[in-house]
Amino acid sequence: MPKITIIGAGGYVFPLTLIRDVLSFPALRDAHFSLMDIAKENLDRTFGHARRLISQHGLPASVEATTDLQRSLEGADFVVVTFQVGGLEAYACDVEIPRRYGLDQTVGDTLGPGGIFRGLRTAAALDPIIEAMKQVCPNALMIQYANPMGINCWYSSDAGIKTVGLCHSVQGTSEMLAERMGLEPGSWTFKCAGINHQAWFIQFKHRGVDVLPLLCETMNAYAAQARAAHDAGNASDELYGGGGEQVRTAIMNLTGYFQTESSHHASEYLPYFRRTPGEVKRWLPERWDYYDICRNHDFEGLERRAAELAEQPLVPSHEYGAYIIDSMTTNVPRVVYGNVPNTGIITNLMPGCSVEVPCLVDAQGVQPTYVGDLPAACAGINAGSVAVQNCAVKAAQLHDRNLVHAAVALDRYTSTILTLDQIRSMVDELFEAEAAWLPQFA
């Protein structure tokens, strides 16, 4: 009977999805879930849904809810981290302050000033979790679902915690590419490697035959169709998601390989796509703003969705978390894509950074597979992002404001738009606005 602690369990849908995923596996139906959150009202809501789910399916699983971190972690086998420190209030600072300086982040949770400050806040919240895990569950695996994935995983791994970070961009992008190429389900395989939100499909095969040339041809045709539709005045994200993936296709044409994260998100990692409003419109005809989406969530709809999850058949989603828990519990081997420390896995990226690679999972745990050198252009793009993450992680470890300035200045989108003086002013303003969540930098 594994004990699974979920920290940040007060979310509307994801914590319940994870519980449902776990209970989809017969060997895990007696699992004990410890739900922990600092927001008791939200925690109680998830607790009620979880109890109903377990009762609905007549399972021997058990669930508790607590705001006591130490109690929740006591004897845990798996610790799932899924929270956003500061919620929408902090997120507003992450995106609205940079916008006043001319930086329009579509998401702002991975790199750039938004991703860096979210990482600093998350590191502060991870510190007590890390210390408690060392005391009461030193052998537990931390499963990171919180962004910025690369910074968070690097931080907790450096602190001596067994960590794997999980994201669905590899699964989602691989399925999109196969669909665009017209490949029937079950007939294709791939290999992907890099860093989170910037991993590369270095191999794609259909019935054992290399289809990377077809992938390039297909995505270029798709992007051209979207550009033509935009020029004719009838482009729409309903027809052409992410502007017809023009951004990712341009990056593919630069490197030779398609990357994992969406065109909207990818556009804020590099200096080529967001320098002027006209340039943004050219690459991404339909505006997409994740902060605005979050601010305008249909919370009643999310509540209905959570209630529906408790009633539906037990079928796992495409999230990897439950598969890892089942494989480590039953010794059934599986391959997943995880974010893990770079211990010689990708040989032309910085040792110790967080890399996203195929991993074998069984009773021995999460075992990354060797990749070797990434293609040079792919590694070059990743290296620039890793430099930002490195400064952000060191800044979080040392509580060093100067390293935060350096991290933001090294960000390629930021440095394309702002001078060093403007960057310093913006970072200082962010520190002032987010002081409540970053007391260690006072």
Contacts of 213 (CB under 8 A, 6+ apart): none
Q: How many CB atoms lie within 10 A of CB 442?
A: 8
Residue that terminates a domain, selected from 259, 287, 315: 287
Residue 435 lies in a domain: yes
Per-residue pLDDT 10s for the chain (442 aa) are 899 999 999 988 899 999 999 999 999 999 999 999 999 999 999 999 999 999 999 999 999 999 999 999 999 999 999 999 999 999 999 999 999 999 999 999 999 999 999 999 999 999 999 999 999 999 999 999 999 999 999 999 999 999 999 999 999 999 999 999 999 999 999 999 999 999 999 999 999 999 999 999 999 999 998 888 777 776 554 445 567 899 999 999 999 999 999 999 999 999 999 999 999 988 998 888 888 888 887 777 777 877 777 778 899 988 999 999 999 999 999 999 999 999 999 999 999 999 999 999 999 999 999 999 999 999 999 999 999 999 999 999 999 999 999 999 999 999 999 999 999 999 999 999 999 999 999 8
Residue that terminates a domain, selected from 266, 287, 308: 287
Position of tokens 């058990």? 62
What phi, psi does 34 have (nearest 5°)? -110, 110
Total number of domains constituting the chain: 2
Residue 143 lies in a domain: no
- 29 class by beta-carbon count within 10 Å (0-12 exposed, 13-18 middle, 19+ buried): middle
Asked if residue 66 lies in contact with residue 403, where contact means CB atoms within 8 angstroms, the answer is: no
Q: Provide the pLDDT for residue 232.
A: 77
Report the C-alpha gap between 179 and 169 in whole angstroms.
15
Q: Provide the pLDDT for residue 430.
A: 98
Asked if residue 356 lies in contact with residue 167, where contact means CB atoms within 8 angstroms, the answer is: yes
Q: Provide the pLDDT for residue 235.
A: 57
Residue that terminates a domain, selected from 287, 312, 327: 287
Q: Provide the pLDDT for residue 101.
A: 97
Residue 168 lies in a domain: no
Q: Provide the pLDDT for residue 242.
A: 66
Is residue 168 among the annotated active site residues? yes
Report the C-alpha gap between 157 and 354 in whole angstroms.
9
Residue 189 lies in a domain: yes
Residue 390 lies in a domain: yes
Q: Could you tell me where the DSSP H helices lie in 29-103?
A: 40-56, 69-73, 87-100
Residue 161 lies in a domain: no
Name the residue among 324, 306, 304 with its Cα closest to residue 50: 306
Residue 226 lies in a domain: yes
Q: Which entry of 32, 49, 57, 168 is annotated as an active-site residue? A: 168
Query: Whole domain around residue 269: which residue ranges?
Result: 173-287
